[in-house]
Every structure is written in structure tokens, then in C-alpha cells.
Copies of this chain bind each other. A is one copy, B any other.
Amino acid sequence: MNAPLAVKVTMPPQRLLSACAVAYASVGNVGVGFDILGHCVAGASDQVEVHRIDTPTVRIAAIKGCVEVLPMDAAQNTAGAALMALRKALGLQHGFELTLHKGIALGSGMGGSAASCVAALVAANALLERPLSRESLYGFALEGEAVASGGRHGDNVGPMLLGGLVLATRDRLLRIPVPPTWHCALVHPHVVLETRKARAALAGDYALSEFVAQSANLALVLAGCWQNDAELVREGLKDVLVEPRRAPLVPNFARVKQAAMDHNALGASISGGGPSVFGWFEHHADAEAAAHAMRSAFNEVGLDSDTLVAPVEGPAAQLIPCIEGERQA
């Protein structure tokens, strides 16, 4: 057979002028990795549309979706602040205009502010002449996250950038392997718990013995993931440091957690700053059953809630077709 004729068509260089990206909800802390461990959960997401503009600035055109009370001042907005940091670091001449489509409720403990920040970065990155690696976007994501929470912690933005379960230290991201069959149930009661209030509950001093117990638990969870050993995770997935201090902020927490444990959870705790509660499960069916039971437990105190059930190895943020179509120069 003859090879088909190769026809080389030289196109003028094209420059993308707009891009859209989606970033998924996340479970921050994962109980035992306060501020350093998190994973994504498919099923809830923020989308951000970024236009390259000639004006050397970052501006927010609109915020749509389930949240409309966010700051329109870019410097006060997680997505805006992240892109401002990106512009400054790269010395970009052009600016960005953002439209945020919020799908993750703020103050839910599901990484809503982080998702806008990461989606904006991934979209803006696609508009650069030399796009950066996901790891290289991390520092800018931390800048954005700091606007929302007051701290540079990567346990939400880290997993959103890389996907799956991620160790997010001050300087680096590292993906931790997780068996693909392990599932997370994430239940979001319809009540707002501000990140700053959740952080205030952690003020004060800590005993060294608390840290020894918590770091042993963290090590067991990491070992269980690396070794694909659910029993190690079951032994370690117990937050003895943060959960006792934040549990009073989550309505009916003890019974919601127990509902997860009653359905064979490897462990269950508060997602991020709360009030959402998550559980990890070896099997999808257990996670489904637990999600219903956890929802019922929130119902006991008059709270409706949303439930998500998805693999612990959730998806990374990604580019998506813009709703109004991409425009090219």
C-alpha cells in the first residue's frame, strides 16, 4: 500500500484569545493532613472563561451561577488575584478579563474559592505563548487562595491542579497513588461556614502528644495508599487534632460521621473548613449508601444537603470548550 499523500499546509500563527477551564470540588485536609493533603471530587465544579485583553490589567466581567456575592475587585477575588500574580511574575504586557461560573457553594468546605482560582489559571495559561506546567502554576494558585482564606495552604488548589490525592507542601505538589476503586462520599449541608471562622476555631496552643498521634495517623494513611492496603487507612484515617476543635461548628456532626462509619467507611471527617463531611470507602456501593445516611443525619437537624459520590482519584482541572465558542485572532 502506498502511504497517503502528505499535504503540509502552513497556517499563519494563531493566538488563542479566550479559553475556558473547569476545576472540580475538593476535600481539603482529608482529616489527617491539615493544610497539606487533599483530593478532587467530580460532580461539582467551577468554570472560568478568560479573555486576553490589551489593557494591562485583570478585571472581572461577571460572576454567575450559585454564588453572586463575590468581590468584583480582582485583587480581592481568588481568581483575579491569582492572575494578577501570574501577570506580574511573567511580566505580561496584556491583561485578562474573567467570567466566573460558580458551581461550588462558598463556605461549604469543598474548595469553592480554590476552584475558581485554579480554573482561571488553567484557562489563562492556555493563552500564554509558552504555557507553564501545572506545578509551575502552584505558586500563583497559593496567592489566590490566600485572598480567600488568609493563608497559603495548597490542600485544595494542589489536587485541583494535578488531580487525584495530592500532598501539597509549601514548595511542591506530589501525587499520592490511590486505588481507583476507592470512593468518597461528600455531603454538603445547606449552611455556610466561613473559612475564616473555621480557622478561628483552631486558635490556641497544641500539645506535642496531639501531634505525635496525628502524624502517626497521617503516616498510616499514606502507607495505606502507597501499599494499596485499606486496613492501614482504616487505622489511620482519624483526625485527632483538628476535628475535635471544629466539630462543634458542624451541625449534628457526630451523627453524620457515625452514619458514614456505619457503612464501612475507612474514615470520615470534616471536608476542608466544613461544614461538608466526607467519608472514604473501599467500594462504590458503600459510599452511595453512606451518602444517603449522612444526608438523613443532617435532615435530623432540619438541614437539606447535596451529596456527591465519586472516586477519590478525582479529575484535575481541564480546558473545556467555551460556551460561546473560542475566539482566535
Tell me, yes or no, whether A54 is within 8 Å of chain B by CB: no
Cα of A309 to Cα of B295 in the assembled complex, Å: 57
- Which residues of chain B are within 8 angstroms of A241 by Cβ–Cβ distance? 208, 211
Closest to A242 in B: B208
Q: Mark A194-212, 1 if CB is under 8 A from B, else 0.
A: 0000000010011110011
Tell me, yes or no, whether A326 is within 8 Å of chain B by CB: no
Tell me, yes or no, whether A223 is within 8 Å of chain B by CB: yes
Q: Indicate the size class of the contact surface on chain A.
A: 35 or more
Tell me, yes or no, whether A219 is within 8 Å of chain B by CB: yes
Closest to A174 in B: B223
- Find out whether the CB atom of A208 lies under 8 angstroms from the CB atom of B208: no
- Find out whether the CB atom of A215 lies under 8 angstroms from the CB atom of B33: yes
Cα of A219 to Cα of B38 in the assembled complex, Å: 13
Tell me, yes or no, whether A172 is within 8 Å of chain B by CB: yes
- Find out whether the CB atom of B218 lies under 8 angstroms from the CB atom of A215: yes
- Indicate whether A34 sits within 8 Å of B167 (C-beta atoms), given known contacts A172-B235, A206-B205, A223-B222: no
Q: Mark A171-214, 1 if CB is under 8 A from B, else 0.
A: 11010100000000000000000000000001001111001111
- Find out whether the CB atom of A218 lies under 8 angstroms from the CB atom of B218: yes
- Which residues of chain B are within 8 angstroms of A128 by Cβ–Cβ distance? none
Cα of A90 to Cα of B2 in the assembled complex, Å: 80
Tell me, yes or no, whether A170 is within 8 Å of chain B by CB: yes
Taking Cβ atoms with an 8 Å cutoff, the residues of A that contact B are 33-37, 153, 167, 169-172, 174, 176, 202, 205-208, 211-220, 222-223, 226, 232, 235-236, 241
Would you list 16 pairs from A and B whose C-beta atoms are within 8 A, ordered by A residue?
A: A34-B211, A34-B212, A36-B216, A167-B220, A167-B223, A169-B216, A169-B235, A170-B213, A171-B235, A174-B220, A205-B207, A214-B215, A215-B215, A218-B219, A219-B222, A222-B222
